[in-house]
C-alpha cells in the first residue's frame, strides 16, 4: 500500500518535470533538430511563454524583485498581483456565499411547496435557459465597473446550480422519516430544521464544489468585460501587450485560488456530512 | 375436518374475559368501526379495506395478521393518523383520529429504516425529548438508561451507518419507547431482519411489553411472530381487507421467544391458524397493484 503510494507520487513528479522541461526547452530543441515547418506552433514561447519567464513575471508583478522595495512597489501599483488576487478572491467569496444562500433558500421553499413550485416553474426554466455570461455586459451597465458587478455575476451563476440541487434534494427527503419525526411530536418547522435540511444538505453540498468554481468563472468574466482591478483585469492588460508570461502568472494564481476554495468547501462538507460513509475518517 | 381449535387459540368470543388483564394504569384504547378505504388507480377503483371493525382494550398486545397486500398496514397508518380513510370511525381513548393530526400518546415503528442517518445513536433516541424541550442533562440521563437497556452501550456516539440492521431497528424502537407512548403501533418492524436477529428482537420486545404493558397493534404477515408476541390475533382477509377471524392467544407469560416455538401447543396453534390463513393466501388478489400497501 505504502509502496504504491510512493510510486504514484513518483510518477506524478516525473510527469510534472517532463511537462515543465518541454515547456521550457521544447521550442528551442525542436527548432534545432527538426525542419522548420514541422515544429509545433503551440510550443512557441510567444504564445505560451516559458516557466522561467513566468517565474520572473511573477516576481515582478508580485513586487518581489523591485528595486524600490516591496512596499513602495505595492503602493504604487493599484493592481499588483496581491491586490488583484485579494479583490478577485473577495468578490468570488461574496458571490459564492450570497448565490449559494439564496439558491439554497429558494430551492428549499420551492421543494417544500408544490404550489410555489408550480407557479415559478416556467420562470425558472426560462431564466435558466439564458447563458449567464450573456448577462455580464448588462450587469456591468447596471452595477458599474466596480466590485458589485462581479459579485452580482457570481451570484447569478451560483444561484441556479445550488437552487436546482437543493430543490431536488428537498423533494427527495424520505417521507417515512418525515412521518417518523411528526409522530415523535415534531411541528412543521421542526421537521424542516431537523429532517428536511439535514437530509437535503448532502444534495446542496454536491453542488457547492462546482458552484465555487463557477463563482470564480463569473468574477473573472466580469473582470474581462469591464473592471478596474482583479486577476481578470491583469490578464486583459497582459493580452493588450501580448505578454504571455503575465497571463500565465494570473492563470496560475487563479488555479491556486480555485484549489484553495474547493478545499475549504470539501472540509466543511466532510464535517457536516460526517454521517455519510464516503466521508469516513476525513474530518 | 380439523378437530377444532386448540385451547391456546380460541375464537375470541369464546374466551371472556381476556387472559391478559389490563394494567392498573389507564392506557390507550383503540376503536375501529366500519373502516373502509378505496382509491383510484389506473386500473379502476381499488377497494383496499371494506368494513373493518375491532376494539382493542387497554394494555392488549394485538397482532394484525394477513396476506401481503390485504391492507393491514393501511389500517395501521389510518389508526396513526398518517392516512385518510374513505369511511368509518377510528377513535383512540374516545377521541376521533384525524389524518395529519398526531396524537401524543401514540408511538409508531416503521418497517423501513427511518432512523435519522445524520444523528448519532444518542441524538436519534433523544430526538423526541429534544424537540419536546426536555433539558439537556435530564435528556442525557434518560437516553443513557435507554441505550443501556437496549444493549447499545458503547455505540451512543456512532452514526447509524456503522450499525447492523438489527441495531438500527433497536434504535428506532427505543426512539419511540423513550417517549413512553400508551399505544405502540408497529408496521412489520422486524420484517427486514434475519431470523436470528428477529428472535432477539422478539425477546427484547416481550421483555419490555411484559413490564410496561402498553397497548400494542403489531402488523405482520409472519404467523410465528404473531403467535410468539401477541395475546390476540386479528386475521384480515385478502383484498378487500376484512376482519376474518379474531383469536385469543393464551400462552402463559412471561414468554420466551425461542422455547415457546418448540412447544407442542405452539405447533398446534400455528397449524390451526395457518389453515385459515392458507385459504387467504391461495385466493387471488383482486386488481392489486403492488404499491397498494403503503
| Cβ contacts of B107 on chain A, cutoff 8 Å | 183
pLDDT level of residue B3 (50, 70, 90 thresholds): low
Whether residue A166 has pLDDT greater than 60: yes
Weakest mean pLDDT among B12-21, B69-78, B90-99, B251-260: B12-21
Give Dmax (Cα) for chain A. Answer: 82
Q: What is the mean pLDDT of residues A203-220?
A: 93
Q: Tell me: the pLDDT tens digits for B59-98?
A: 899 999 988 778 888 999 999 998 889 999 999 988 888 8
Q: How far is CA A205 from the centre of its chain?
A: 15
**Residue % of chain A over a pLDDT of 70:** 98
For residues B48 and A195, which has the higher predicted lDDT (pLDDT)?
A195
**Rounded distance between C-alpha atoms, residue A257 and residue A96, angstroms:** 13
* Residue A168, pLDDT score: 92
**Rounded distance between C-alpha atoms, residue B59 and residue B27, angstroms:** 6
Whether residue B287 has pLDDT greater than 50: no
pLDDT level of residue A2 (50, 70, 90 thresholds): low
In angstroms, the separation between the Cα of residue A272 and the nearest Cα of chain B is 9
| Cβ contacts of A180 on chain B, cutoff 8 Å | 108, 110, 114, 172
In angstroms, the separation between the Cα of residue B251 and the nearest Cα of chain A is 32
**Rounded distance between C-alpha atoms, residue B40 and residue A221, angstroms:** 54
In angstroms, the separation between the Cα of residue A186 and the nearest Cα of chain B is 7
Whether residue B108 has pLDDT greater than 90: yes
What the block records as the C-alpha cell of B117 is 442517518
Nearest to A180 among B114, B118, B161 (CB): B114
**Rounded distance between C-alpha atoms, residue A263 and residue A268, angstroms:** 9
* Residue B67, pLDDT score: 82
CA quadruple B116, B120, B122, B127: dihedral sign: negative
**Rounded distance between C-alpha atoms, residue B168 and residue B166, angstroms:** 5
The answer to whether B74 and B48 are in contact (CB under 8 A) is yes
Q: Tell me: the pLDDT tens digits for A126-144?
A: 999 999 999 999 999 999 9
The answer to whether the Cβ–Cβ distance between B131 and A199 falls below 8 Å is no
Q: What is the mean pLDDT of residues A215-227?
A: 94
Give Dmax (Cα) for chain B. Answer: 63
Q: Tell me: the pLDDT tens digits for A229-267?
A: 999 999 999 999 999 999 999 999 999 999 999 999 999
**Residue % of chain A over a pLDDT of 90:** 77
Strands (E), chain B: 9-11, 30-41, 44-56, 61-65, 87-92, 95-96, 106-109, 183-187, 215-220, 232-236, 243-249
Q: What is the mean pLDDT of residues B48-61?
A: 90
* Residue B24, pLDDT score: 44
* Residue B250, pLDDT score: 86
* Residue B25, pLDDT score: 47
Please give the ipTM for the structure prediction. 0.81
Question: CB B287: neighbour CB atoms within 10 A?
Answer: 13
Asked if the peptide bond before residue B254 counts as cis, ω within 30 degrees of 0, the response is yes
Q: What is the mean pLDDT of chain B?
A: 84
Straight-line distance from the first to the last Cα atom of chain B, in angstroms, rounded to the nearest whole number: 37
Nearest to B131 among A180, A185, A275 (CB): A185
**Rounded distance between C-alpha atoms, residue A180 and residue A182, angstroms:** 5
Nearest to A183 among B80, B112, B119 (CB): B80
**DSSP secondary structure of A243-280:** -HHHHHHHHHHHHHHHHHHHHHHHHHHHHHTTTSGGGT
The answer to whether the Cβ–Cβ distance between B110 and A277 falls below 8 Å is no
* Strand bridging mode B232-236 / B243-249: antiparallel
Sorted by sequence, the CB contacts under 8 Å of residue B106 that are 6+ apart come out as A183, B28, B79, B80, B81, B92, B181, B182, B183, B185
Residue range(s) occupied by CATH 1.10.3720.10 in chain A: 78-279
For residues B20 and B120, which has the higher predicted lDDT (pLDDT)?
B120
What the block records as the C-alpha cell of A96 is 459564492
* Residue A15, pLDDT score: 97
* Residue A42, pLDDT score: 87
- Yes or no: is domain A78-279 CATH 1.10.730.10? no
In chain B the domains, ranked by start, together with CATH numbers, are 9-105+182-292 (3.40.50.300), 114-180 (no CATH)
**Residue % of chain B over a pLDDT of 70:** 87
Q: What is the mean pLDDT of residues B162-172?
A: 91
* Residue B282, pLDDT score: 61
The answer to whether the Cβ–Cβ distance between B127 and A194 falls below 8 Å is yes
Rounded to two decimals, what is the model's pTM? 0.79
Q: What is the mean pLDDT of chain A?
A: 91
* Residue B19, pLDDT score: 43
The answer to whether B58 and B27 are in contact (CB under 8 A) is yes
Whether residue B285 has pLDDT greater than 90: no
**Nearest chain B residue to A275, by CA:** B118
* Residue B27, pLDDT score: 66
**Rounded distance between C-alpha atoms, residue B125 and residue B178, angstroms:** 7
* Residue B50, pLDDT score: 87
Whether residue A276 has pLDDT greater than 90: no
Q: What is the mean pLDDT of residues B256-274?
A: 88
Q: Tell me: the pLDDT tens digits for A73-98?
A: 888 888 899 999 999 999 999 999 99
Amino acid at each position: 500500500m505504502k509502496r504504491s503510494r510512493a510510486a504514484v507520487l513518483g510518477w506524478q513528479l516525473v510527469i510534472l518535470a517532463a511537462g515543465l522541461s518541454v515547456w521550457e526547452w521544447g521550442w528551442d530543441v525542436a527548432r534545432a533538430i527538426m525542419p522548420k515547418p514541422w515544429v509545433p506552433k503551440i510550443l512557441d514561447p510567444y504564445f505560451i511563454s516559458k516557466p522561467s519567464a513566468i517565474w520572473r513575471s511573477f516576481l515582478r508583478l508580485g513586487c518581489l524583485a523591485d528595486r524600490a522595495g516591496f512596499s513602495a512597489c505595492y503602493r504604487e501599483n493599484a493592481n499588483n498581483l496581491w491586490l488583484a488576487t485579494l479583490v478577485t478572491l473577495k468578490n468570488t467569496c461574496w458571490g459564492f456565499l450570497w448565490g449559494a444562500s439564496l439558491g439554497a433558500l429558494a430551492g428549499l421553499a420551492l421543494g417544500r411547496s408544490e404550489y410555489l413550485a408550480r407557479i415559478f416553474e416556467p420562470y425558472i426554466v426560462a431564466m435558466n435557459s439564458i447563458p449567464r455570461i450573456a448577462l455580464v455586459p448588462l450587469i456591468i451597465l447596471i452595477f458599474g465597473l466596480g466590485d458589485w458587478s462581479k459579485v452580482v455575476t457570481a451570484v447569478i451563476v451560483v444561484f441556479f446550480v445550488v437552487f436546482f440541487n437543493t430543490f431536488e434534494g428537498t423533494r427527495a427527503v424520505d417521507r417515512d422519516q418525515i412521518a417518523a419525526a411528526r409522530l415523535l411530536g415534531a411541528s412543521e418547522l421542526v421537521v424542516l430544521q431537523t429532517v428536511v435540511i439535514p437530509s437535503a444538505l448532502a444534495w446542496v453540498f454536491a453542488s457547492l464544489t462546482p458552484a465555487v468554481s463557477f463563482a470564480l468563472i463569473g468574477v473573472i468574466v466580469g473582470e474581462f468585460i469591464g473592471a478596474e482591478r482583479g486577476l481578470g483585469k491583469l490578464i486583459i492588460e497582459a493580452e493588450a501587450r501580448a505578454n504571455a508570461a503575465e497571463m500565465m502568472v494570473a492563470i496560475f494564481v487563479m488555479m491556486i485560488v480555485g484549489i484553495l476554495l474547493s478545499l475549504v468547501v470539501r472540509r466543511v462538507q466532510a464535517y457536516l456530512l460526517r454521517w455519510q460513509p464516503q466521508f469516513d475518517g476525513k474530518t | 375436518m380439523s378437530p377444532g381449535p386448540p385451547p391456546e387459540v380460541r375464537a375470541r368470543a369464546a374466551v371472556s374475559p381476556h387472559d391478559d388483564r389490563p394494567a392498573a394504569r389507564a392506557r390507550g384504547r383503540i376503536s375501529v368501526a366500519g373502516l373502509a378505504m378505496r382509491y383510484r388507480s389506473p386500473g379502476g377503483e381499488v377497494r383496499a379495506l371494506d368494513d373493518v371493525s375491532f376494539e382493542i382494550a387497554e394494555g392488549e398486545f394485538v397482532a394484525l395478521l394477513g396476506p401481503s397486500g390485504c391492507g393491514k398496514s393501511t389500517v395501521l397508518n389510518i389508526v396513526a393518523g398518517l392516512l385518510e380513510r374513505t369511511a368509518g370511525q377510528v377513535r383512540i381513548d374516545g377521541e376521533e383520529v384525524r389524518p395529519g393530526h398526531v396524537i401524543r400518546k401514540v408511538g409508531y415503528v416503521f418497517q423501513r429504516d427511518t432512523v435519522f442517518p445524520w444523528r448519532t445513536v444518542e441524538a436519534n433516541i433523544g430526538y423526541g425529548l429534544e424537540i419536546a424541550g426536555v433539558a439537556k442533562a435530564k435528556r442525557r440521563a434518560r437516553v443513557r438508561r435507554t441505550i443501556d437497556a437496549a444493549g447499545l452501550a458503547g455505540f451512543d456516539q456512532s452514526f447509524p451507518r456503522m450499525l447492523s440492521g438489527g441495531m438500527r431497528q433497536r434504535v428506532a424502537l427505543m426512539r419511540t419507547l423513550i417517549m413512553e407512548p400508551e399505544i405502540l403501533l408497529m408496521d412489520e418492524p422486524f420484517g427486514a431482519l434475519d431470523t436470528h436477529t428477529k428472535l432477539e428482537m422478539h425477546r427484547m420486545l416481550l421483555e419490555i411489553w411484559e413490564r410496561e404493558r402498553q397497548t400494542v397493534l403489531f402488523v405482520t404477515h409472519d404467523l410465528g411472530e404473531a403467535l410468539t408476541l401477541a395475546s390476540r390475533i386479528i386475521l384480515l382477509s385478502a383484498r378487500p381487507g376484512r376482519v376474518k377471524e379474531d383469536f385469543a392467544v393464551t400462552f402463559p407469560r412471561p414468554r420466551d421467544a425461542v422455547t415457546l416455538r418448540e412447544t407442542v401447543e405452539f405447533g398446534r396453534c400455528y397449524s390451526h391458524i395457518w389453515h385459515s390463513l392458507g385459504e387467504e393466501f391461495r385466493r387471488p388478489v383482486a386488481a392489486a397493484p403492488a404499491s397498494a400497501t403503503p
